[in-house]
Amino acid sequence: MAMPACVVATARATWHWQWLRLMAGLGPADAAGNYRRPAGAFTTCPPLPATAGEQGGHVLIVGRSCPWAHRARLVWGLRQLQDTIALLVVEPDPQAGRWRFEAPFQDCSTLLELYRLAGADPRQRATVPVLFSRGEQRIVVGESARLIELLNDWPAPAGAPNLQSQTTKVACDQWRQRFQGAVNDGVYRCGFARTQAAYDRAETELFAALAEAESALAAGGPWLCGEELTLADLQLFATLIRWELVYAPLFGCSRQPLWQLATLWAWRARLFALPGVAESCDGEAWRRDYFGALFPLHPSGIVPAGPDLARLVQAIPLR
């Protein structure tokens, strides 16, 4: 027997209301339904610490699935900072909605405890990435945009690349600013939008920024600012490498598959081939964390299969 229309309408309205409440747990939105990323803690970056060159003096705390942490990990790897900064990977705890340490770190079992211990406002979220100073027993910085600048200034072995040189600084800053809002946060503003109009705004801005990057690379390259790889490339890469696995299928960033942006596609493969980059990518963990943890977007919790990351960055698209 068909269900009466009024029962269906009531069920839909009730479910939608509950969905909005669940979405509030993912993050706040404004009155028009646009996702607004909450402010974090430890966002201002001090000058380079005097102990920066000390062996093992600092710890970079990252989560595998987080694109903001990924950019920091990429800079850390490419600048070969392993001797002075240890890497510590935290695991997600979707039930508790927080990051936890596999073994106690500074007597803390969760990142939240470390934030509280370091004096963070109790209302603030505990986010990755974090740079922690063992000597000073404090969080140096917890904002990835500042953290990658600091890591670029960090004393590094001879031959390590400068990812924001005098030559590229102006262009790199412009790209980074553009990507931060339109792309890095933009995919979240698509996925966490509360209304069609909010999604449409974020999605339009996202694909406009990608089209700009595509044209710039087609006109120049091999990197966004020309001959030199910069922080801007890494910032964009951390989002685009998750495209087919997460952002297209789960966040609705699906207007154009990335292979249709052929120059960006080739750029992504080029960046993936740099030393240490493939090791920083764990497609299985990304799918598990995003599809498994973002309940309001994917209530079944079923983790879809593939595509295989290694094959994605090898395939040559047809022009």
**Alpha-carbon gap, residue 181 to 225, rounded angstroms:** 19
Span of 137-145, 236-244, 292-300, 302-310 interacting with ligand GSH by CB under 6 A: 137-145
Residue 81 or 147 with smaller CB distance to ligand GSH: 147
Taking CB under 6 A as the rule, does residue 113 contact ligand GSH? no
Residue 60, classed as helix, strand or coil, is strand
Stretch that binds ligand GSH, among 48-56, 124-132, 161-169, 219-227 (CB under 6 A): 124-132
The 3-state DSSP class for residue 275 equals: coil
User: Rule CB under 6 A: is residue 40 a binding residue for ligand GSH?
Assistant: yes
Q: Exposure of 310 by Cβ count < 10 A (0-12 exposed, 13-18 middle, 19+ buried)?
A: exposed
- List the structure tokens of 81: 């900072």
Position among 58, 73, 125, 189 found at the interface with ligand GSH (CB under 6 A)? 125
The CB-of-288 to ligand GSH minimum distance in angstroms stands at 14
Read off the amino acid at residue 126: A
Candidates 74, 81, 128, 245; binder of ligand GSH (CB under 6 A) is 128
Q: Which is nearer to ligand GSH, 82 or 124 (CB)?
A: 124
Task: Name the strands in the sheet holding 85-93, side by side, starting at the edge strand that comes first in the sequence.
Answer: 108-110, 98-105, 85-93, 58-63, 130-133, 138-141
143 binds ligand GSH (CB under 6 A): yes
CB 70 to ligand GSH: min, Å: 9
Q: Which is nearer to ligand GSH, 46 or 53 (CB)?
A: 46
Contacts to ligand GSH from residues 59-88, by CB under 6 A: 63, 66, 68
The beta-strand segments (E) located in the chain are 58-63, 85-93, 98-105, 108-110, 130-133, 138-141
**Smallest distance from ligand GSH to CB 253, Å:** 16
Cis status, amide bond into 307, omega within 30 of 0: yes
Q: Which residue lies nearer to ligand GSH by CB, 57 or 63?
A: 63
Residue nearer to ligand GSH on the CB measure, 218 or 248: 248
Min dist. Cβ of residue 58 to ligand GSH (A)? 16
Among 144, 164, 230, 239, binds ligand GSH (CB under 6 A): 144
Which lies closer to ligand GSH via its Cβ, residue 16 or residue 36? 36
What's the per-residue H, E or C state across 74-91? Answer: HHHHHCCCCCCEEEEEEE
Other beta carbons within 10 angstroms of residue 170's beta carbon come to 10
Hey, which residues does 63 pair with through a beta bridge? 90
Q: In this structure, are residues 283 and 272 in contact, taking their beta carbons and an 8 Å threshold?
A: no
Which residues bind to ligand GSH, rule: CB under 6 A?
A: 40, 63, 66, 68, 98, 125-129, 143-145
